[in-house]
A and B are shown apart, each in its own frame.
Chain A
Amino acid sequence: MKPRVATAWLGGCSGCHMSFLDLDERLIELADKIDLVYSPIADVKEFPENVDVTLVEGAVTNSENEELAHIIRKNSRLVVAFGDCATTGNVTAMRNPFKLEDVEKRAYIELADKNPRIPDEYVTIAQLLNIAHPLHEIIKVDVWLHGCPPTADQIWFTVNELLQGKIPVLPPVYLRYG
């Protein structure tokens, strides 16, 4: 059986997933090696059980992210913080110095084109957490893959190491923030 790999998208811009797609022709090689069981680029509704590796993009910034993070942890052997937002909070966390109510006021009232209101009564809209957290503040993380976004080479290196059963230690050339 091929290793079961998942990718997830929390509070981020999806740039890390775009970079993942930048693997280009290597994607074909990868497809031979793994089963992609859950991803924003695959139409799977529920996070599956028994996943070997999950790449998590984005910071944990709302209640939905938080819930998914726990589900991912419960069902994954290895969790990779995928990109700077998952590692440090990065741009997603730039709201953190401000009070939550000020952030919501800014986003939903001051910058609203029409119907300015804070959407707190809609159950379908996840509630923002007080601050956006890097992934490891919420769940245990096994590997950190930095970059905004990580380059395709970094991703390739990390995934391959993991597929060989190694915890990757990024060589300096691949250790980069921003």
Chain B
Amino acid sequence: MTVEDLRELAEKEQARQAQFEHRILYCSSAGCVSSGCDAVKAELKKAIEELGLTNKCELLGTGCLGLCGEGPLVFVHSDPTLYQHVDAKVARRIVEEHIGQGKKVKENEIDLKDPFFASQTKIVLENMGKIDAESIEEYIAADGYEALAKALTEMGPEEVIGEIRKAGLRGRGGAGYPTGLKWDIVRKGVSDQKYVVCNADEGDPGAFMDRSVLEGDPHRVLEGMAIAGYAVGANQGYIYARAEYPLAIERLKTAIKQAEKLGLLGNRILESQFNFRIDIRIGAGAFVCGEETALLRSVMGRRGRPKVRPPYPSEKGLWGKPTVINNVETYANIAPILRNGSAWFAGIGTQKSPGTKVFALAGKINRTGLVEVPMGIPLKKIIFDIGGGTPEGTEFKAAQTGGPSGGCIPKEHLDLPVDYESLQTVGSIMGSGGMIIMDNTSDMVDVAKYFMDFCMDESCGKCIPCRVGTKHIYTLLEKIVNRQATEDDFALLKELCMMVKETSLCGLGQAAPNPVLSTIRFFNEEYISKLKPATTFNATGEEHSPVTVAKEVK
């Protein structure tokens, strides 16, 4: 396929879509699948056929429509209308009344002018609700692979990297390392072989951004990786995906086959000299494999134990070769940057953190789901305007970002702009984009314990501070929750947290104490109120001895 063929295909597909008066898109993302979108799809299909609307109306499954808590969702594209809580009955009414008679099904309609939609800026999620998640033609019709074509025909690798650097794109996996800089290091590395790796091991519990992108718009990730491959001089890419995401893996496999068939992956892409293949590697349930050196070990079939950096993967990665690792969302930003130019991208968000960030809103919040907002947006706006605040009768207490490596942000920091640096100032991190809202029913010490349980369980066991330290942080927290701890224990907890943070080998251990430290910082009184006085000195016989605790700990 040549670039001309690609554009021809895009036009052909656009023309095909134009023949339909209506396009009905049902959300086929995992959230809606579990809410029962298959039955909805069947009913929609049946109704369209029965009413003889097949020529007028096209039915397709699209990527995540955002409001996962209100699914199954159906979107009528021609006359933009979003329906929530769609069941078979409502599905039939949509076809009969909306498509057939032009009357909307008011009861299930969601107002698209609602701030949930109006306050979002979509780059990564731009195709959600627009295209069929399983069709490469539809992706191409929506300017898909145009950026790759542009890179291959009009730009040299340095120029591509230059654009990414000028755009100021930073890694969306959490740390915020400048993507262009990383690519440049790999490009300059002298090696017969280089690799491009996509971190799709979204291990942060409470985050599903990457899953939604992979399920709803897989080609966008493939295109971003191919462009990265071209820029750094790699001909092989790997996507490391979680085994817990079977649908995403399935869609990726389909997408890779489609792209290979059209010559958009494989040898001599778009009849240029550029070859690039992508293989999928499936993780097997280890949070630590989100750490880049552990991920690479896992791609090579080993235990996912991190290695000391330096050397960084950009110098010595897969099989000792220079390797680019970025996460799904980072790659998803690449094509739009090349298509629309770096200046466009840099104009969104803040100066230091340009672009948008996708967040998975969940927890005690009215509208749970997937949102994409410009960087620098105040936290308040995400939680109250977009998310609609906490359910009635409850009060907002904290927003947890960054998952087990992040922290809890209390209400006095609600004005905080959401970008990499600001979140760090309050002891949290951007992380991959999970945002869990907690109300006044949440006990913050218990929250800290929950995350420590997670880190303890996910520690690879290589370095001592993380392996044993997280275990003891957990037992100390448990002691506090059970009201058996003294001030000495609390002091020891703080000392141990700092030690684990400063001496652990990799990011998992270094960040593991964050949820504890941030809750101590903002909710210290919740810890203090659970402490008991040090009784053992001059204790009377009646007072509780710590033996009971020790028994439970064991």
Contacts and interface: CB of A to CB of B under 8 A. Distances in A.
Closest 3 CB pairs of A and B: A130-B551, A139-B536, A140-B537
Contact of B547 (A73, A74, A129): A129
Interface string B30-61: 00000000000000000000000000000000
Interface in B498-554: 534, 536-541, 545-547, 550-551, 554
A123 to B, nearest CB: 17
Q: What secondary structure prevails in chain B residues at the interface with A?
A: loop
Contacts, number: 39
A73 B538 contact: yes
Nearest to A133: B550
A66 interface: yes
A2 interface: no
A137 B537 CA distance: 12
B264 to A, nearest CB: 59
B243 to A, nearest CB: 34
A81 interface: no
A96 B537 CA distance: 26
A79 to B, nearest CB: 10
Contact of A73 (B536, B546, B550, B554): B536
Contacts of A60: 547
Contacts of B545: 66, 70, 138
B538 A137 contact: no
A74 B550 CA distance: 21
B537 A73 contact: yes
A131 interface: yes
Interface size class of A (residues with CB under 8 A): 10 to 19
Interface in A128-172: 129-131, 133, 137-140
Q: What secondary structure prevails in chain A residues at the interface with B?
A: mixed
Interface string A44-78: 00000000000000001000001100100110000
B58 to A, nearest CB: 66
Nearest to B539: A70
A139 B29 CA distance: 57
A66 B536 CA distance: 12
A66 B547 contact: yes
B534 A137 contact: no
Interface size class of B (residues with CB under 8 A): 10 to 19
A130 B547 CA distance: 9
A103 to B, nearest CB: 13
Contacts of A140: 534, 536-537
B547 A138 contact: yes
A133 B537 contact: no
A73 B538 CA distance: 6
Contacts of A73: 536-539
A137 B554 CA distance: 13
Nearest to B549: A137
B546 A131 contact: no
Contact of B550 (A67, A70, A137, A139): A137
A130 B554 contact: yes
Interface in A104-142: 129-131, 133, 137-140
B141 to A, nearest CB: 65
Given A129-B551, A131-B550, A138-B545, 17 more contacts: A66-B545, A66-B547, A67-B541, A70-B536, A70-B539, A73-B536, A73-B537, A74-B540, A130-B554, A131-B551, A133-B547, A137-B546, A137-B547, A138-B546, A139-B536, A139-B539, A140-B537
A21 B551 CA distance: 36
A17 to B, nearest CB: 24
A73 B540 CA distance: 10
Given A70-B541, A129-B547, A138 B536 contact: yes
A75 to B, nearest CB: 9
Contacts of B551: 129-131
Contacts of A133: 547, 550
Contacts of A74: 538-540
Nearest to B553: A131
Contacts of B539: 70, 73-74, 139
Contacts of A66: 545, 547
